[in-house]
Structure 1
């Protein structure tokens, strides 16, 4: 499955994506089966048009890839202004703190010492009970 999500893109992006994918919600396009060559062509066209994107616009394209972190390959054009970072086989999003973040509260939270989890904790499974969950 290939999915594209657009935000504030010029009409040509949405029209082009709608010509090769199904629009299931405003700005959300899916193709249950899309060959790699088609996906690459779609991406090349959007890259060629990238200079038309306003500062708050962009496209996120992702598809299943068993060899990629989180088993997803991701391509970004313009927005979102976040970095995707691979960590222990998963994609994580990272962005710098802004004035909107309460950095003092975050620093306080980082200093809090967590209590070790004891066997009486109701969220801890008794030894050997996890076998039935697999």
Structure 2
């Protein structure tokens, strides 16, 4: 059961209330759970996704330990700007995901 961290920015107050009910708020808008199971993490993320789809304001980022992902870190996000982890000269870095415009 790995550590999960969620950081919110400029979202409705209900997000903060919900997250405070399932995680510890260690700083304003920064939530952690030291032993969140995959099932709980996925259900929590589904609630956040559904709410963000109905009220797309601000952004939410969740990170957790995942040995199957780049750098051993799982990364999920809602809002802008989306990020991705890449390897660059032997280091893991986060960069804004490129947006492709269809004309």
Query: Larger relative contact order (C-alpha < 8 A, sep ≥ 6)?
Result: 2
Distance 1:3 1:83 in 2: 16
Q: Compared with structure 1, are the counterparts of its residues 38 and 95 closer, same or farther at alpha carbon in structure 2 (3 Å cutoff)?
A: closer
Stretches of structure 1 lacking an aligned partner (at least 5 in a row):
97-134
Residue in 1 that maps onto 2:86:
86
Stretches of structure 2 lacking an aligned partner (at least 5 in a row):
98-103
> What stretches of structure 1 move > 2 A for 4+ residues in a row?
85-96
1:53 to partner: Cα distance: 2.9
Relative to the length of structure 2, the TM-score reads 0.80
Aligned CA RMSD, in angstroms, stands at 2.0
Bigger radius of gyration? 1
Alignment of 1:39 with 2:41, yes or no, is yes
As a proportion of its length, which structure holds more strand?
Answer: 2
Relative to the length of structure 1, the TM-score reads 0.63
Residue in 2 that maps onto 1:12:
14
